[in-house]
Amino acid sequence: GLTGYFEALAVDHLQPGMGRRLLLRYRETAFMYESQVAGMSLVPLFPPASPESEEHLYQKATSLMGMVNGFLGNATFYDGLQRHLWQNSFASSTPDLFWRSLQLASERESFETKNWNVKGIMDTWIMQKGYPLVTVIRKGSKIVLVQSPALNGSRTELWWIPLTYFIQNEVSTKDLKPRAWLSAHNHSLQLEEDVSQDHWILLNLRAVGYYRVNYDELTWQLLATTLFDDFRSIHVLNRAQIVSDIFFLWNHELISWSTALNVLKYIVDEDEYEPLMAFVVGVTHGIWGVSPESSFNIAKWLGIAGRWYAEFISYTFDKFVLKDVNLNSLDYPD
């Protein structure tokens, strides 16, 4: 996990913007593989994992390391890492020792007592298969968040989920530290903030958390309007996350096709690689059934070809959306 994370940072240093693409690809590939195998955990496997499984375990671990950096913050994360390397420079290390180093760094950050335990948090992500789906429910001006396993609704796993979010018209911030937590002891949480009925809330800033998000119908409508009117007001990584989540939710019959189309219609104006990649992968893998690796290769080729993104999107909308006389038959019940 650490190796992959620092690989992405090194790539981004040499060619700004490429590191975030690499991390996004790791995250999306791990998501798709977990969907195929009904989830995977990072604990040692017996018998040993296949080469393909090892690759995806590596991608998931890298994504989780990015999430750790997000909820601890850069300064705390690197302080803990440096001290861990120094203290274990002539000895072997274990995950527990690494989490302990990060915990101590977190406690040194301020005089306030931290109400989280790094090892306890990460055990829910490492020991359990799959990943969570966080669902947004509006109750008047209040927002309730509910977690559930994304891949199997009959399972009961719960995670410690760092919640980063942005409410429309708030002052923008680059801080990725969590404003709240979903607990591994409770499946739901009501946020403290009030959210007006004409304002959206956006979860998982910059897609740093390893989870998917579903919104209530009103919030999807508000997000769709903002994307259509001014998509650049939403961070590019969150646009990619929205596109990816939309295809996942539709494939799992959690939203209707009309809702998905309403959100995706902005994509004809999109000009950034990450959301376009998510769209191409969503179509080729989620609708056409192409393998994940081939889907990413198609997205990469279209990116190199440049103008062919527009051609692909135009073809997709023309063939599968605008001229589909059976469009209503694709709607799932709300």
Q: How do the domains of the chain map onto residue ranges?
A: 2-126, 216-334
Looking at residue 87, its pLDDT comes to: 76
Is it true that domain 216-334 has CATH number 3.40.50.2000? no
Ranges of residues in the chain whose predicted pLDDT is under 70:
1-2, 44-52, 89-93, 110-115, 153-154, 286-334
How much is the pLDDT for 314? Answer: 64
Element (H, E) at 132: strand 132-139
- The predicted structure's pLDDT at residue 248: 94
* Architecture per CATH, 2-126: Orthogonal Bundle (1.10)
**What b-and-e string marks burial along 136-175, b requiring 16 or more CB atoms within 10 Å of the CB?**
bebeeeebebbbbbbbeeeeebbbbbbbbbbebeeeeeee
Please tell me the distance from the alpha carbon of residue 157 to that of residue 163, in angstroms, as a whole number: 18
Give 16-64 pLDDT, tens digit per residue. 877 788 888 889 989 988 988 888 888 865 555 666 677 888 889 999 9
Task: State the pLDDT at residue 300.
Answer: 63
Output b/e per residue, 186-217; b: 16+ Cβ within 10 A: eeebebeeebeeeebbbbbbbbbbbbbbbbbe
How much is the pLDDT for 174?
75
Residue 316 has what pLDDT?
Answer: 60
Model pLDDT, residue 246: 94
Q: Structure pTM? A: 0.84
Matching fold, domains 2-126 and 216-334: no
What is the model's pLDDT at position 228? 95
Q: Tell me the per-residue pLDDT of 156-176, one tens digit each, with 9 for 90 and over.
A: 899 999 999 999 988 877 778
Tokens of residue 59, six digits = 């991608």
> What crossing angle do the helices spanning 18-37 and 292-305 adopt, rounded to 10°?
150
